[in-house]
Structure 1
């Protein structure tokens, strides 16, 4: 009996993420080159993957057939889609039920998953936008039909469509710091909405655009009675700023993550900023209500998400389990956050220049600059 050929199916980044979130088995054949795969790939609790570069499969896919499981969904992944479609078609000719990732890893890098964090005592709500493939986290705080966006990523259409759907007028846009791993969408959002854009002047010394200076005296409010409390919290950058909302949520930027702490070296001033980082984490944050939920600007692994896809944790738990918060010796802390760090984010210098307004990459250039993990934390 001959092999019955089938047609490969297309799986979007959203559909792939939903499978991971639902903990469905997913087997990935990644056909990018070995370096790209080892640097950054799709991961999850129930994800298994192998890497066989596309060029090894040009003469046929026979060698990979025996490596594919019979009882799991198979997804072929490449950088932009074309190579994975070709390989998926070859597998389908051998009777394999197979998908390929629509848009490749570029679409995975840019997909935003919106999820509700919770409600406010004032009647408003907090939403988190999870940039799954990049590990970026953005936020929308809503009260009485008005909104604040925190740490917007470059792909702003998701924020605009979400706000329109919910009947929210965006009044303020905040960046916790000058980002080095991704291009901020704040200025584009300001152009589209007319909202005020706030940035710490300590991070804005070289920027070429106008902004509202973000300090602890700044009055930022929405709706009838919701005020965003501004907390100067340097360490990741000299201008790093946190926000407390409703005495319930603490937006920590890249100072504190669920499983790590922020690195102080991305502006080349680690030795200068390490003291600020320790002071923020070991003194300033410790004086805040321990029942606060931290909402960071990044995450490192899918397992930091809960079953709904949210990335958050209580501050008191962080001081029990986050290894970056349990280093009693100051010198050991200094070495931990300045030595043996993970590689720096791809194109981080160019990304910083873009966020200063010094360069203006087009869409393709910006997408290429951002490819890869965020690497904003001390620990991988």
Structure 2
């Protein structure tokens, strides 16, 4: 059996490259594929057969596979996909496996330079998480880092930047934040709004109207509660780092603090007010969200005026129309499943629990932070 395959980061680059357009064959079980997959991939659910070295179903579907292009095979951890790739090569196909499978896919980070001065976007395509390196001169602040802090250290080093602060836009429920660890390793402030601090210590608390210095510029704080009580958005020049308050096609769900209907309605009303405040910004303001679902645009950036004009963000249109009742009712009626392991992740990000050996696996899976 071959012991080498594609690095997940290489697959992410090829998937994002329109000219490459690889054929990705996912051999996991159908229910696992339906929940979370590489965009554009094809599912052939033969995982259990491959565990037993049974290639009969794969052989029966050989005619369904392209003979004139490379096949990239993915499974959970890279074992059964490697078996499938070997079998395909033996039958004349150009096939490779994805090292570490979907587990590796969930850890990939990709950097994007923006047209906005002083902002680098760092996208985690496998989980829908988006973070930022905001910089001026030779200084930088990291916004919403994942637990893979080496990604931000490398991004800063590539640009000869010194990280002088780290911040979260809110206490996350979908992924384990790397902000406290990164701030601790660098001995720089960790910023978080006071309403999301919970049991955390060594936090520089933020409030509406505060500013975080970055070189000779400032990252301006706007308190935008709703997704969480302490959610904030940051203004940086023409950019709005909107965290989980405003996405390109939805808004942040308001039920991850308290899922009772009364609490959700109250939080949704706060979110409506926060979004109403943000829509007062200039149309040219570039919205940089903290998450995405299946949007293919890279980098993830849209002017506020375009979001208003488009019909792809239904909830934002209710805010534009001043229809709070429709906004709240739509959220209450259309909430999706909660992010995987979100309660345990919240406890870690609130400082109530220490991360265990399974901290990487906790957050793998689809991103469900949007309200609809």
Distance in 2 (alpha carbons) for counterparts of 1:312 and 1:73: 32
Distance in 2 (alpha carbons) for counterparts of 1:119 and 1:302: 20
Deviation at 1:332, TM superposition (A): 1.9
Q: Cα deviations across residues 344-367 of structure 1 (Å, max 9, x unaligned)?
A: 1000000000101122223x4111
Which residue number corresponds to residue 60 of structure 2?
63
Deviation at 1:216, TM superposition (A): 2.1
Which residue number corresponds to residue 159 of structure 2?
166
Which residue number corresponds to residue 91 of structure 2?
94
TM-score normalised by the chain length of structure 1: 0.90
TM-score normalised by the chain length of structure 2: 0.92
Deviation at 1:90, TM superposition (A): 1.6
Which residue number corresponds to residue 368 of structure 2?
375
Which residue number corresponds to residue 227 of structure 1?
218
User: Any stretches of 5+ residues in structure 2 without a counterpart?
Assistant: none
2:300 aligned residue (311, 323, 334): 311
Which residue number corresponds to residue 79 of structure 2?
82
Does 1:115 pair with 2:112?
Answer: yes
Preserved contact between residue 4 and residue 99 of structure 2 (Cα < 8 Å): no
Distance in 1 (alpha carbons) for counterparts of 2:247 and 2:370: 8
Q: Counterpart of 1:311 in 2: which secondary structure?
A: coil
Q: Cα deviations across residues 164-206 of structure 1 (Å, max 9, x unaligned)?
A: 22211111111100100000000110121111100111112x2
Q: Counterpart of 1:59 in 2: which secondary structure?
A: coil
Preserved contact between residue 31 and residue 52 of structure 1 (Cα < 8 Å): yes
Preserved contact between residue 209 and residue 222 of structure 2 (Cα < 8 Å): no
Aligned length: 358
Distance in 2 (alpha carbons) for counterparts of 1:297 and 1:211: 21
Distance in 2 (alpha carbons) for counterparts of 1:152 and 1:25: 29
Q: Counterpart of 2:279 in 1: which secondary structure?
A: helix
Does 1:293 pair with 2:278?
Answer: no
Does 1:20 pair with 2:15?
Answer: yes
Preserved contact between residue 232 and residue 243 of structure 2 (Cα < 8 Å): yes
User: Any stretches of 5+ residues in structure 1 without a counterpart?
Assistant: 1-5
Distance in 2 (alpha carbons) for counterparts of 1:341 and 1:66: 41
Distance in 1 (alpha carbons) for counterparts of 2:21 and 2:200: 48
Distance in 2 (alpha carbons) for counterparts of 1:71 and 1:342: 40
Preserved contact between residue 126 and residue 142 of structure 1 (Cα < 8 Å): yes
Distance in 2 (alpha carbons) for counterparts of 1:7 and 1:346: 33
Distance in 2 (alpha carbons) for counterparts of 1:143 and 1:92: 50
How does 1:188-227 map onto structure 2 within 5 Å?
188-204=181-197, 206-223=198-215, 225-227=216-218
Q: Cα deviations across residues 261-285 of structure 1 (Å, max 9, x unaligned)?
A: 111111123122011111111x201
Q: Counterpart of 1:374 in 2: which secondary structure?
A: coil
Preserved contact between residue 209 and residue 220 of structure 2 (Cα < 8 Å): no
Does 1:29 pair with 2:25?
Answer: yes
Preserved contact between residue 26 and residue 41 of structure 2 (Cα < 8 Å): no
Q: Counterpart of 1:316 in 2: which secondary structure?
A: helix
2:242 aligned residue (242, 247, 252): 252
Distance in 1 (alpha carbons) for counterparts of 2:334 and 2:44: 27
Preserved contact between residue 25 and residue 72 of structure 1 (Cα < 8 Å): no
Q: Cα deviations across residues 254-313 of structure 1 (Å, max 9, x unaligned)?
A: 0111111111111123122011111111x201211221000010011142x2xxx30010
Deviation at 1:7, TM superposition (A): 6.8
Distance in 2 (alpha carbons) for counterparts of 1:174 and 1:265: 23
Distance in 2 (alpha carbons) for counterparts of 1:341 and 1:34: 23
1:186 aligned residue (179, 188, 198): 179
Which residue number corresponds to residue 326 of structure 2?
332
Q: Cα deviations across residues 39-81 of structure 1 (Å, max 9, x unaligned)?
A: 00000xxx34123231134322312312212233211101111
* CA pair 31-116 structure 1, distance change in 2 beyond 3 A: same
Distance in 1 (alpha carbons) for counterparts of 2:211 and 2:274: 22
Which residue number corresponds to residue 3 of structure 1?
none
Which residue number corresponds to residue 309 of structure 2?
320
